[in-house]
């Protein structure tokens, strides 16, 4: 991983083969002091893709009953990653294609870069954001 910071507060993150995407982006936020921000662009290829998505319209209390977890192997062309950084933690969504199907969802730990990854993070000055669970256990973005 390597990072490059612009004068106007953008951080470009280059991930190399074998780097873990979500974990590396969290590390980049920490090393650049980004507590609140947005991932405004992201492209990559992954050798595996770990995501989850909500598959129901009702909200059972138990999260495992409302989410589907996918651990997909093979080469995945990532066409978009974006989301919000709150309390230094990225909450990101991804769209990817493996040559046969396109999938999307919440990016999870363990997505290994196959060839390369390029992401841009923009710090948001003057915001103090965190995520806290609501009555249904859904982690909601809030100001501290």
Spans of all domains in the chain: 2-143
Structure tokens at 38: 């947005």
Mark residue 133 as left, alpha or beta (left: phi above 0; alpha: psi -120 to 50; beta: remaining): beta
Mark residue 124 as left, alpha or beta (left: phi above 0; alpha: psi -120 to 50; beta: remaining): beta
Mean per-residue pLDDT for 86-104?
97
Phi, psi of 63 (to 5 degrees): -60, -35
Greater confidence, 38 or 59?
38
Write out the CATH class of domain 2-143: alpha beta
Assessment of whether the complete model's pTM goes beyond 0.85: yes
């Amino acid at each position: 991983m390597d990072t490059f910071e612009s004068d106007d507060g953008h951080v470009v993150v280059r991930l190399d083969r074998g780097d873990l995407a979500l974990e590396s982006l969290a590390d980049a936020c920490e090393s650049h002091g980004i507590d609140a921000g947005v991932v405004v662009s992201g492209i990559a290829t992954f050798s595996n893709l770990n995501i989850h998505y909500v598959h129901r319209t009702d909200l059972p209390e138990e999260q495992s009953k409302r989410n589907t977890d996918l651990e997909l192997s093979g080469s995945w062309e990532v066409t978009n990653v974006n989301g919000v950084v709150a309390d230094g933690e990225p909450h990101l969504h991804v769209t990817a294609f493996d040559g046969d199907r396109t999938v999307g969802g919440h990016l999870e730990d363990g997505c290994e870069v196959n060839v390369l990854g390029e992401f841009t993070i923009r710090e948001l000055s003057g915001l103090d954001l965190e995520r806290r669970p609501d009555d249904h256990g859904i982690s909601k973005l809030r100001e501290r």
